[in-house]
Each structure stands twice: as C-alpha cells, then as structure tokens.
Amino acid sequence: MPFKRIDIRMSTETGFMSNRLEALACCLLFLVCALLTTPFVESGVGDDFGYIRSAQLLAQTGHIHYNGTTPMLGWQLYLGAAFIKLYGFSFTSPRMAILLLSVVSTYLLHRVLVQFGLGRFYAALGALTVMLSPVWLVLTVTFMTDAAGLFCLLLCIYGCQKAVLAGDDRAEASWL
C-alpha cells in the first residue's frame, strides 16, 4: 500500500510574513532576557571551562585536543574556535556562539510549532516557555552541549516538516 501524504498546513491566521515577524520578535525577547542575566563572567561556569579550553586549542593549533575531562564536541568546537579567532580569546566569546545558536533555536522552535498547526499566540507562548525557562536560560549562556544539541534536534524536526510539505521527491530528499 503506498504511503499517504500527510497534510500539514501552516497556521493561516495572519499569513506567512506575520508568523516570521512573530518568530523574530520571540528571538529578540529571548536575546534581551539572556543578556539581562549579564553572562560575561571571565571564568569557567560548571564544566564549560574544559570545553572552552578545547575550543581555544583548536583555534590556536587547528587540531582537536582531547583533554580527558570533556566529551568529544565535534562541530561545536569549530564554532567556538571561530568565535575565538574572530573576537580573541575570552570565556565570553565561545559562549556568545552558543547564545547565537539559542537565538536561532528560538526561531526554529516557533516555526516548528506553527508548522504543526498551532496558532500565532500559542506558537509564541510555546517557544518562549521553553526558551525562557530558568533551567534553559542558564544553559544558553554557557559553552555546554545542551543548546547545541537542542539546535540540532530542532533543525532536524524543521527539515522533516519541510520534507513532508515538499511538492516533489527531489525537494523532499533535499530537506531530508
């Protein structure tokens, strides 16, 4: 029996552009709240000192150095190393890379909720409830793997939704 195409439609309460503007407003609100926590301490927070040291060594040598105390980070190290090369070494520069990922995650979460059919208000409420929760807000200003992991999960869900909505096989394959 062939598969039936699932009909997932974006909320049409105000249209496509308005939903994107609301997602951007959620991102801005999240960013303001995260910066109000003043995440600019120049020392390790939790376990992120080992992660930041690995990113610093990658930025200096171009090679990944496993220091024995942190898990292998992969692409997150390259992102942190890029921010260290761009802005110089400090504990804040790789943390700002994770903050940037969290802002993009806020946008993706809002878009995912809209594509699941939630209305404008509930999509914004859902995205802000997750991203502004006290537990999560602390993790978005450290160089830990939690925010990068959520970003990857949301990106995969978003791509799967777009694949389901795609019109032809080639577009479906490209989203997957």
**What is the C-alpha to C-alpha distance for residues 108 and 87, in angstroms, rounded to an integer?**
26
Q: Is 56:84 a contact under the CB 8 Å cutoff?
A: yes
Contact 55, 143 (CB under 8 A): yes
Picking from 24, 19, 49, the residue whose alpha carbon sits closest to that of residue 116 is 19
Q: Are 130 and 108 in contact (CB under 8 A)?
A: no
- The predicted-structure confidence for 39-89, as pLDDT tens digits, reads as follows 777 777 777 888 888 888 899 998 887 777 667 678 889 999 999 999 989
Q: What angle do CA 33, 38, 44 make, to 5 degrees?
A: 125
Question: Residue 154 in contact with residue 109, Cβ under 8 Å?
Answer: yes
Q: What pTM was computed for the model?
A: 0.82
Q: What is the pLDDT of residues 114-124, one digit of tens each?
A: 999 998 889 99
